[in-house]
Structure 1
């Protein structure tokens, strides 16, 4: 049952990304171009994602497990630290340059061109390398 619900949720997520335009790199870069030809339509996508998620966090607040019996993860940390700032900065730069982030890039694999495969390969490489780089940085410059 868990695999079936994961498949359905993933399919809905991918379809939502496609229908909302999040897999269109020009649309994403148009959203980020606030001083040029700005396209504000992705604000509706973000609002459409944040509102249900806020409700879901509220409902899940008192629960220990999901409807399927899987333990729920703890709420995210509210601490603003070096990892959060560096990670969000790198994410934003990559999103701005490529016009894609992990979810839409995976959703686009079925119809993307060679550039998309290069992006996904680089993204996966970054995901594998990041923990090693982070541990080296933590040893070199300990967090306060």
Structure 2
């Protein structure tokens, strides 16, 4: 395995990441997941259309990852072996999931879709994005201030 940073692996690495993010954002906008009111309707069981969007995305991702891992090949731009990253279920995972879920429920949007929401003209979402940055800063501060209780990853990077 190479120790060079990913962006030095291949000259197309960053452009491919940018294009992937662009495609992801357009997919969120087309699937209406960049609209907090639609997401809140889904969370209140009033509009279950997003279940198809998320289910389709999860299915495509699961098949792609499974095939990539079983192929035994390396990623073309990074040279890293495809593999699963296993992490134990601990209190940090539980707390992070709870904070993510509460934030999603309060704002009506998850972090990835929040940025896509800016692209469809939803400027009030800047409050939620500001909250995400504040939460990330607080988490980083807490991680350095409190004793280390993290677990180690198994089976890859």
TM-score of the alignment, normalized to the shorter chain, above 0.5: yes
Which of 134, 138, 145 is the aligned partner of 1:125?
A: 134
What stretches of structure 1 move > 6 A for 4+ residues in a row?
A: none
Equivalence for 2:122: 112
SS in 1 for 2:118: coil
TM-score (norm 2): 0.76
Flag structure 1 segments of 5+ consecutive residues without an equivalent: none
CA distance in 2, matches of 1:64, 1:129: 39
CA distance in 2, matches of 1:118, 1:9: 25
CA distance in 2, matches of 1:101, 1:85: 17
SS in 1 for 2:126: helix
Equivalence for 1:55: 63
Flag structure 2 segments of 5+ consecutive residues without an equivalent: 1-11, 151-157
TM-score (norm 1): 0.83
Which runs of structure 2 are paired with 1:70-81 in the superposition (5 Å)? 70-71=79-80, 74-81=83-90
Which of 68, 82, 96 is the aligned partner of 1:87?
A: 96
Which of 43, 46, 54 is the aligned partner of 1:32?
A: 43
CA deviation after TM superposition for structure 1 residue 57, in Å: 1.5
- Cα RMSD after superposing both structures: 2.3
Aligned pair count reads 138
CA deviation after TM superposition for structure 1 residue 7, in Å: 1.9
